[in-house]
Every structure is written in C-alpha cells, then in structure tokens.
Amino acid sequence: MAFVELKSVRKSYGSNTVLQDVDLNIEKGEIVAIIGRSGSGKSTLLRCINGLEPVQGGEVWVDGVAVHDPRANLRELRARVGIVFQSFNLFPHLTVERNITLGPTIVKGIGAAQAAVLAREALRKVGLEEKIKAYADELSGGQQQRVAIARSLAMAPSIMLFDEITSALDPELVGEVLLVLEAMAREGMTMLLVTHEMNFARRVAHRVVFMNQGKVWEQGPAKEFFAAPKTEELKGFLSAVLH
Amino acid sequence: MIRELALLDVYYLVLAVRWTIALTLLALAGGSLIGLLVAAGGASHHLLPRLLARGYVGLVQGIPLLAWLFIFYFGLSIVGYDLPPLIAATVGFSVYAGAFLGEIWRGALIAIPRTQWEAGTAIGLTYIEQLRHVIIPQAVRIAIPPTVGFLVQLIKNTSLAAVIGFVELTREGQMTTAATFQPFAVYLLVAALYFSLCYPLTRYSRVLEGRRRGVR
C-alpha cells in the first residue's frame, strides 16, 4: 500500500461536485506537485488528505489511517501530516516560539523545555532562529510563511502538504520560501504541493499531477509532463501559464 | 422638616457609592454568566442555540431597562414572589447586561478569522483546545475595550434602581434632597461622584484600545 492512497474520492458541497473519482497514490519520500486552474479542486484534494474536509465517497488512506472513516483519529493523524496554508495563519497573539511549541506540547504532550529545543531546531531549518521571540506582525510575509513551515516541522510529520504557499507573497519573497522547500526535499521529506510555480515544480517534483474539473486529468514524471503534455487541456493550461 | 445640607449628608452620599458599586458588580457577575451563554450560542454553528441567543438579545434590547426592573420588582411581587429591591435590581440588571455583554463577546468571537480555527485543527488541537489557546485569547483582546465601555454604561444605569427603592447613590441623593431641599447642590455632588467612578474607566478603556497586540 502506498503511503497516501486516494481511491475514487468524491467531494461535493451540496450539488456542487468539487472532486470526482480521484485516484492518487503517493509513495514515501516522493515529491508530488499538483497544478491546475483555480476551482479545479486541487486545494480541496489537499485538505481531504488531512481530514480538514470530509469526503462524500471513496477512500482516503494516509499511513494506514482511514481518513474517510468518521471514527478516524484525526488528532493523531494531524500530528503526522503537516499542512501549510496560503495565508500563513500564524497565531498573532503568540510569539514565534509559542506558535511552534503549541502543537508539540498540547497534542504530543512534550515538555516545555524539550519543545523549546524543537522550536529552535525547526527555526534553524527555515533560517529564522533570531526571530524566536518575535510576533507575526513583526515579520515579512516570507518570514511568516517560513515560521508556518517550522510550526509544521516541529510536529515531526511524515508528510507535508503545501497549499499554494507562495501565492500570497510579494514576488521578491517567493524565493526564500522555495529555498526552504528545496532543503526539505533534499532531506527526503514526502511532500505534496499545490503550486503555481511551474519552474519549481519542474525542478523539484518527482511527479506532477494536473487537476481539471475535479479530476486527476493527467500525471507523469516532471520532465516528460512539461515536455510532452498528452491532453489538450494540459497543453492549453501550460501554454497559458508559461506563455 | 427641612434642615441644612450638612457634612454628614455628604458623608452618606459618599457611602451610598458602595451600593452603586455593589449593584454594578452583582450585575456584572450575573450578566457575565448570561453573556457567556449568549455569546456561545450566538457564535455556535448550530441553528437552535443561535436562534435562542438572537431571540434573547432581541427581547431584552427591545424593552427598556426600567420596564425590566418594574417587571422583576412589582410584577413578581403580584404573582407572589416578593423580591427585596437588591435582588430584583440584580436580576433585572443581569438580564440587561447579559444581552449587551453577549453581543459584544459574540462579535469578538466571530471576528477571529476561520483560518485561525483551521490552523489549530491542522496541528491537531481539539475544538476546546482551539478555543482555549487560539480563539479566546484573541477574542478577549478584542472584547476588553467595549466591555469596559459597557461597564461605564452599567454604572450609570444602576441609578434606575432608585425607582424601585434600592438605596444606591441616586436614591440617597433623592432622600438628601427631600430632607434639605437643596437639589442643585445635592445632584451636583451625585453627578461628581458618578463621574469619579466612570471617567477613570473610560480613560482606561481608551488605553486598552491602543494596546491590542496581535489583533488585526
């Protein structure tokens, strides 16, 4: 069984179907980029994987946990599945350090001293150790997003989900966040990213998935995927975003 | 018999401030209990608590405070519950404060973006843990200035308790006026005493407004 396995997943809001018949496998250590137009269901797909959105049909398996099952222990699952959002979502009333230690201390029951060590370690990975006592409103967007990544990393997840994490950033701040992602890729982290950064996807991802109309429309190894798209829809999309 | 306004009268007026403060604190306590329920109900994802909270607020805010005091004092005594003025006033003011505090706090709760809940969920926090560590600390910062502002309203409105015979500052002023026939001097003093309670709170509320770290 793959590390993440989606089988015929269906997700709808009322009569509006967002995902239909989605099958997707992700192996441990794999880096998969999801691209597609807005509204194609790519963010929803990501959110179904850690149970932020319940599915209406099909199965979602993550590391042996049946996420689609209403009785699934999502708390335990979320400690192992990190997610980083487009809008950072740091806790503005807490310091950077407390943002990071909240999960480990409360969810995992790790002691304060040990959690502080984890926070420093996670901040070192994103290159922001000196901001440990800062508040979110004292940081740039890129720095906030790196702290958000550190907050996820401190939970020691076995997979990280990234939901368009550079889309809300000023262009000059995108690079520093992508550098952090590349470093994580080199360390062998399993990653699933929804992204608009095509160059990044081509360079870092092992596999790229094109979502269209709520379906996995086309997928393949990054090089071939961009060099020789098969479907008309992907060709159209790529020519629109790559000019 | 009319007598001169004596230093003793001033002393009694100052002492009556205690009852104004006592009634305010009792109403604040009762109102907070009701207000928490109203805020929780009003911010709930379920329809029924939301309707109940909205209905309560609509009912209380649609009826004058004075009418509530009459209902609890005179009304209940007719159906056999003879409440002493302090109790009737406490209940009446609690009902009133509960609606306003509930609305203030509900507003503070729903002012916290949904993404904050989501970020809490994403790191595995339970609903209660999200409330405790993420939502309420931020909501409190938003709610404190208007809550202090409402407290000032509450202090001033306790003067209405005078009409059901509860001897707080205003009632003491009425009685002193009746004895000395010096309404201008007496009510000037009463006003000064209210002002000395309310003005510092208003100033404090302003200070709090300016000190809202981490709330956008």
ipTM: 0.90
DSSP secondary structure letter of residue A168: T
Which of A91, A149, A161, A163 is the mutation pick for testing B, counting most B CBs within 10 A? A91
Q: Which residues lie closer than 8 Å to A211 by C-beta, 6 or more apart?
A: A34, A35, A36, A40, A41, A42, A45, A217
Is the minimum CB–CB distance between B182 and chain A shorter than 8 Å?
no
B118–A85: do the CB atoms touch at under 8 Å?
yes
| Mean pLDDT of all residues in A61-71 | 91
| Mean pLDDT of all residues in A27-54 | 92
Above 90 in pLDDT, residue A136? Answer: yes
Question: What domains are defined for chain B?
Answer: 7-209 (1.10.3720.10)
Of A52, A89, A103, the CB nearest to B116: A89
Is the minimum CB–CB distance between A92 and chain B shorter than 8 Å?
yes
The encoded tokens of residue A51 equal 């149970």
B125–A50: do the CB atoms touch at under 8 Å?
no
Q: What span, in angstroms and rounded, lies between the C-alpha atoms of B199 and B5?
A: 27
Q: Please tell me which residue of chain A has the smallest CA distance to B142.
A: A93
| Mean pLDDT of all residues in B159-176 | 92
- The pLDDT, as a whole number, for residue A39 is 87
Q: What span, in angstroms and rounded, lies between the C-alpha atoms of B151 and B20?
A: 12
| Mean pLDDT of all residues in B1-26 | 90
Look over chain A and give the mean of its residue pLDDT values, rounded to a whole number. 92
Calculate ∠ Cα A50-A36-A194, nearest 5°: 35
The encoded tokens of residue A34 equal 């999801």
Handedness of CA B120, B125, B131, B134 (dihedral sign): negative
- The pLDDT, as a whole number, for residue B212 is 58
> What percentage of chain A reaches a pLDDT higher than 90?
79
Radius of gyration over every alpha carbon of chain A, rounded to an integer in angstroms? 18
A87 in Cβ contact with A76 (< 8 Å): no
Above 70 in pLDDT, residue B128? Answer: yes
Q: Name every chain B residue with its beta carbon within 8 A of the beta carbon of A152.
A: 122-123
Q: Name every chain A residue with its beta carbon within 8 A of the beta carbon of B133.
A: 91, 102, 106
Above 50 in pLDDT, residue B215? Answer: no
Q: Name every chain B residue with its beta carbon within 8 A of the beta carbon of A90.
A: 119
- The pLDDT, as a whole number, for residue A212 is 93
Q: Give kind and range of the element (H or E) at residue A22.
A: strand A16-26
Of B124, B141, B215, the CB nearest to A107: B124
Q: Measured between alpha carbons, how far is residue A2 from residues A5, A158, A190, B201 in Å?
A: 6, 13, 12, 62
A92–B214: do the CB atoms touch at under 8 Å?
yes
Chain A / chain B CB contacts < 8 angstroms: 67
User: What counts of helices (H) and strands (E) characterise chain B?
Assistant: 10, 0
Length of chain A: 243
The encoded tokens of residue B148 equal 């202090």
Which of B112, B121, B123 is the mutation pick for testing A, counting most A CBs within 10 A? B123
Is the minimum CB–CB distance between B62 and chain A shorter than 8 Å?
no
Of A79, A85, A136, the CB nearest to B124: A79
| Mean pLDDT of all residues in A175-188 | 91
Handedness of CA A14, A16, A20, A24 (dihedral sign): negative
Look over chain B and give the mean of its residue pLDDT values, rounded to a whole number. 92
- The pLDDT, as a whole number, for residue B1 is 61
Is the minimum CB–CB distance between A87 and chain B shorter than 8 Å?
yes
C-alpha atoms less than 13 angstroms from C-alpha of A142 in its C-beta half-sphere: 15
A106–B214: do the CB atoms touch at under 8 Å?
no
| Mean pLDDT of all residues in B99-121 | 95
Instruction: Compute the nearest-CA separation of B116 from chain A (Å).
Output: 6
**pLDDT level of residue B6 (50, 70, 90 thresholds):** confident
Chain CA centroid to CA A108, Å = 21
Above 80 in pLDDT, residue B172? Answer: yes
- pTM above threshold 0.90: no
Coil vs helix vs strand at A87: coil
Of B116, B141, B216, the CB nearest to A91: B116
Instruction: Compute the nearest-CA separation of B202 from chain A (Å).
Output: 25
Handedness of CA A82, A85, A90, A91 (dihedral sign): negative
